[in-house]
Copies of this chain bind each other. A is one copy, B any other.
Amino acid sequence: MKKYQLMAPGPTPVPSQVLLAMAQPMIHHRTPAYEALFAEVRAGLERLFQTSQDVIPLACSGSGAMEAALVNTLSAGDVVAVVSAGKFGERWVEIARAYGVEVVELKAPYGESVPAERVAETLRSRKDLRAVLTQHSESSTGVLHDVRGYAAVTRATDALLIVDAVSSLGIADLRMDTWGVDVVVAGSQKGLMLPPGLAFCALGARAWERAKTSKLPKYYFNLLEERKFVGRNEAHFTPAVSIIIGLREVVKMLEAEGLPNVFARHDRLARATRAGAAALGLRVFPRATPSPALTAILAPDGMDSEKIVAAYSETHDITIAGGQGEMKGKVFRLGHMGYAVEMDVIVALATLEQILSDLGLPVTFGAGVGAAQKVFAGKS
């Protein structure tokens, strides 16, 4: 017997009570029952996004919401700066170029980040920048970018700060209003512990103002139109009803735990994973601040990391993730976001110990697990 476990950096496991809530008979979205449901979810979303502004849900994946953020705030020929240090940074570049938006790439090698000072310099030298686009957590490398720092340097300019928080919302603290982030994009299948298929755009006052002059074509992703419906607890297009129902349960769970505790839990799970990897003689990939959502770990010298990914699947029916793009074969990535607890980290590390041993490497059984336990006990 094997117990299937999903330990990838998203989609993440969905709690049973959420799965069961979503398995209730389908309801119609143009009814008082849906409006009451959505009113509750909408208020919860504002608290999760730490904003007093409307959070707009969209039936799409996170990349759709990234596109929505861009096409609602920019026009063809606009110039933007993109923090590009991983696959999802590159996605911002691709989306911008698909719409005729000119990109100044602020590149850093995979595993590194771009300091806020470099963003500030770019803003000083390129007065025509209309936006800075970044990830908060770059899932492909496991790095957490300095969104707070970026906000401090963009908010004094006319450039908007547009943040892909798909793998950080409900995972790492992101104070949209307090820090002055203009647009936050998130998805359902990471910190929000839901199936994929629902995503979000939250726009601050400056971004809503900018949306009025954006000339890029859009229809399904027209956020000014959608906002009118959201204001009445409705939806322009048929919403992802079942995931919205699940979201009500998730909001309750996260608020029962308390957002600061949710962030602290993810930080603790991430520190424990890193400590465990180090105790097994492995190196964590990020040279910049690591994300609390996932840990990217370098395979032992000379070993293809895909071997480790395959072993997780074959020996214990655990899905983790390998490297993406240029990282393929070099790193493996353990997710510990959303519905993840201390014992999930223990399972991930104990399995890793067995895999390394099976692959012929010297392993002290319990060393990785023990290092994680020390973190949990507050002793490291």
Contact = CB atoms under 8 A, between A and B. Distances in A.
Interface of A: 4, 6, 8, 10-14, 19-20, 22-31, 59-64, 67, 94-95, 98-100, 187, 189, 195-198, 216-220, 222, 237-243, 313, 319, 321
B241 A195 contact: yes
* Oligomer: number of copies: 2
Contacts of A11: 26-29, 238, 241
A67 B198 CA distance: 18
Given A197-B198, A216-B217, 17 more contacts: A4-B27, A6-B26, A27-B319, A59-B64, A59-B196, A60-B60, A60-B64, A61-B238, A61-B240, A98-B217, A195-B241, A196-B240, A196-B241, A196-B242, A197-B239, A197-B241, A242-B242
Contacts of A243: 195, 197
A217 B219 CA distance: 12
A53 to B, nearest CB: 23
A20 B198 CA distance: 20
Nearest to A240: B197
A189 B253 CA distance: 28
Contact of A95 (B12, B94, B219): B219
A216 B187 CA distance: 26
Contacts of A64: 59-60, 64, 220, 237
B31 A319 contact: yes
Contact of A14 (B8, B26, B99, B237): B26
